């Protein structure tokens, strides 16, 4: 019988897991069976005294040749204390399985063994707080630059560089806690995608700034035309609404006028596609980046769920 008394927190970087185990064994020696004799302490033979038994009775070692080990299936072969498996921050002990089909055959003989397997599952809440939550928040913060004016160079560059450096630092600290392996893990795909989204937000502003500089240097464009190009279509819509016949707007589209009045003008301009080409890039990025990240999350978590079901 094997008893698990205590466990020491794992060091996942070194792939080590320590246990304090008590191993108990018992054997049957029929030579010491006296069914037909009811002996009292006074008439015990000399070979059953404590001194003689200690010196002459065979006490087997844990290992000796030509021994076949078997788990006792009638009783619970592995017992653990109630608190064992609950003091690990990253893992949870879900089950314990036994197997005795691990006999090794070598040139010196056959050696039996007993195998015990501990099934550990990762605590998902720990990784949500320590890994997925912070990285997803950094990606969302990088999207704020899409809503900042394109001419606020200092603010947008500072935001992009800060989120990129924060993401790099967080990725390095996470990888330092994981064991080194020679294959790509699922968490590597997540960290790589988050890094790509943050870096893409910085590249987007670089492209917007470059296109704006190119349009500013065009000789055919006058300052008046440039200022008109940068204006969104809000003024045009307001002018159209001003010259519409009041009776038509009131009678034919009462619900549309009521909906427009509920949306403030400062908020409405963010949802109207601008005519100026660099500003239009920011407009598209506000919707493409979140949609792409949501699509990646859908694929990523679907794959994780599928792999968990297969295992």
174 vs 256, higher pLDDT: 174
Q: What is the pLDDT of residue 52?
A: 67
The count of C-alpha atoms lying within 13 angstroms of the C-alpha of 259, restricted to the half-sphere facing its C-beta, is: 5
Beta bridge partners of 16: 11
14 vs 273, higher pLDDT: 273
Q: 179 is written with which tokens?
A: 């064991």
Q: 142 is written with which tokens?
A: 């990088």
| Cβ proximity of 1 and 72 under 8 Å | yes
Please state, in angstroms and as integers, the Cα–Cα distance from residue 66 to each residue in 101, 110, 139, following that order.
Answer: 15, 7, 62
Lowest mean pLDDT among 200-209, 230-239, 302-311: 230-239
pLDDT band at 98 (very low <50, low <70, confident <90, very high): confident
Question: CA-to-CA distance for 275 and 230, rounded, in angstroms?
Answer: 7
Is residue 256 over pLDDT 50?
no
In this predicted model, what pLDDT tens digit does every residue of 40-90 receive, in sequence order? Answer: 555 556 666 666 666 766 666 666 666 677 777 777 777 776 666 666 667
Lowest mean pLDDT among 134-138, 228-232, 283-287: 228-232
Pick the CATH number of 125-232+246-310 from 1.10.287.3510, 1.10.260.40, 1.20.58.390, 3.40.50.620: 1.20.58.390
In this predicted model, what pLDDT tens digit does every residue of 177-190 receive, in sequence order? Answer: 877 788 888 899 99
Greatest CA separation for the chain: 126
**Where do you find CATH 1.20.58.390 in the chain?**
125-232+246-310
66 vs 113, higher pLDDT: 113
Beta strand pairing call for 91-99 and 109-111: unpaired
Please report, rounded to a whole number, the percentage of residues in the chain having pLDDT higher than 70.
Answer: 60
- E-assigned strands of the chain? 2-11, 16-23, 78-80, 91-99, 104-106, 109-111, 115-122
pTM of the model: 0.60
Reduced to 3 states (helix: H, G, I; strand: E, B; else coil), residue 301 is helix
Which among 97, 79, 100 is positioned nearest to 24, based on CA atoms? 79
- Concatenate the DSSP letters of all residues of 144-213 into one string: GGGGS-TT-HHHHHHHHHHHHHHHHHHHHHHHHHSPP-SS--HHHHHHHHHHHHHHHHHHHHHHHHHHHH
pLDDT band at 247 (very low <50, low <70, confident <90, very high): very low
């Amino acid at each position: 019988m094997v008893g698990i008394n205590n466990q020491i927190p794992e060091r996942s970087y070194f792939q080590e897991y320590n246990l304090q185990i008590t191993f108990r064994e018992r054997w049957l020696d029929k030579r010491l069976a006296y069914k037909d004799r009811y002996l009292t302490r006074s008439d015990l033979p000399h070979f059953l005294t404590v001194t003689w038994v200690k010196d002459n009775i065979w006490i087997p070692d844990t290992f000796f040749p030509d021994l076949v080990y078997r788990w006792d299936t009638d009783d619970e072969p592995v017992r653990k204390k109630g608190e064992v498996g609950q003091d690990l921050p990253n893992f949870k002990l879900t089950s314990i399985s036994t197997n005795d089909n691990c006999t090794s055959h070598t040139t010196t003989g056959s050696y039996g063994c007993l195998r015990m397997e501990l099934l550990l599952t990762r605590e998902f809440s720990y990784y949500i707080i320590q890994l997925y939550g912070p990285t997803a928040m950094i990606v969302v913060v990088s999207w704020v630059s899409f809503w900042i004016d394109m001419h606020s160079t200092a603010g947008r560059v500072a935001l992009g560089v800060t989120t990129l450096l924060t993401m790099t630092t967080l990725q390095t600290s996470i990888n330092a806690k994981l064991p080194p392996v020679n294959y790509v893990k699922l968490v590597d795909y997540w960290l790589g995608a988050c890094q790509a989204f943050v870096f893409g937000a910085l590249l987007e502003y670089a492209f917007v700034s470059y296109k704006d500089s190119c349009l500013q240097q065009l000789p055919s464009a006058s300052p008046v035309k440039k200022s008109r190009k940068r204006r969104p279509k809000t003024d045009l819509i307001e002018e159209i609404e001003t010259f519409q016949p009041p009776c038509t707007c009131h009678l034919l589209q009462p619900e549309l006028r009521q909906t427009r009045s509920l949306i403030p003008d400062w908020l409405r301009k963010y949802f109207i596609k601008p005519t100026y080409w660099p500003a239009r890039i920011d407009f598209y990025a506000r919707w493409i980046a979140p949609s792409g990240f949501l699509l990646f999350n859908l694929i990523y978590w679907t794959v994780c769920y599928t792999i968990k079901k297969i295992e």
